[in-house]
Amino acid sequence: MTRAKWEFEGREFTNCNCAYGCPCQFNALPTHGHCQAAVGIVIDKGYHGEVRLDGLKVVGIFRWPGPIHEGNGEAAVIVDSHADAAQREALLRILTGQDTDPGATIFQVFSATLATLHPPVFADIDFEVDVEARTARLSVDGLVETRGEPIVNPVTGATYRGRIDLPNGFEYSIAEMGRGWSRTSGPIPLDLADSYGQFAHLHLGEHGIVR
């Protein structure tokens, strides 16, 4: 198959099992020695070849027995049931790192660390995220329940705002920091509570972050 050009702008919320800030963002080892995460993405506008992807949503559930770079991970992908056959194929190619320069996007990097990719699920995805407010809610009936909130100062009770700026990253340019809770079932059951939460605007393409 000829490699397709693709690009999208969207928003994401990620909840992983690390402490606030996530040392993995700075090439350090994960807080608990292993990695688990639930991710929701809404594509505000985008395309893959001739296929439009505007308004579609996807969910990724991930688990690695150690740090991500050591591999042996597994992933489960949920694709918006509103996507037609061509859109489903396009999204799955992007999410599995195809049609992408090596190391250019988080999807391509993660794909190189997976030992198991479970069959995709097509389902209704209820996902709302406000990056600047650091709030998110993600629900897939019977499979995923996730929420994201701002970090709260334990002394004053005021919301705390911090950001990560990665000029040479492969996922986002700037991410707002928060916290999250996730419960998932199916092939990768997770139970995350008050752990790392990340809210970000995404602008990605086959060559990486579009700047």
The DSSP secondary structure of 118-160, one letter per residue, reads: PPPEEE--EEEEETTTTEEEEEETTTEEEEEE-EE-TTT--EE
For each of the chain's 211 residues, which pLDDT tens digit applies?
A: 578 999 999 999 999 999 999 999 999 999 999 999 999 999 999 999 999 999 999 999 999 999 999 999 999 999 999 999 999 999 999 999 999 999 999 999 999 999 999 999 999 999 999 999 999 999 999 999 999 999 999 999 999 999 999 999 999 999 999 999 999 999 999 999 999 999 999 999 999 999 9
d(CA 124, CA 58): 10
116 Cβ partners below 8 Å, 6+ apart? Answer: 73, 74, 75
How confident is the model at residue 99, as a pLDDT?
96
The CB density around residue 1, as the number of other CB atoms within 10 Å, is 6
Residues 197, 56: Cα–Cα separation, whole Å: 22
Report d(CA 166, CA 178) in Å as an integer.
Answer: 17
Distance CA 177, CA 187 (A): 28
- At residue 133, the pLDDT reads 98
User: What is the pTM assigned to this prediction?
Assistant: 0.96
Q: What is the rounded end-to-end Cα distance, in angstroms, of the chain? A: 28
Residue 156 to residue 135: CA distance in whole angstroms: 20
3-class SS at 164?
strand
The length of the chain is: 211
Give me the pLDDT at residue 138, please.
98
CA-to-CA separations, 85 to 51, 81, 91, 109, 175, in angstroms, rounded: 10, 10, 10, 25, 32
**The pLDDT value given to residue 1:** 58
**Looking at residue 160, what is its pLDDT?**
95
Please tell me the distance from the alpha carbon of residue 126 to that of residue 12, in angstroms, as a whole number.
13
DSSP string, 57-95: EEEEEEEESS-GGG--EEEEEEEETT--HHHHHHHHHHH
Q: What pairs with residue 107 in β-bridges?
A: none
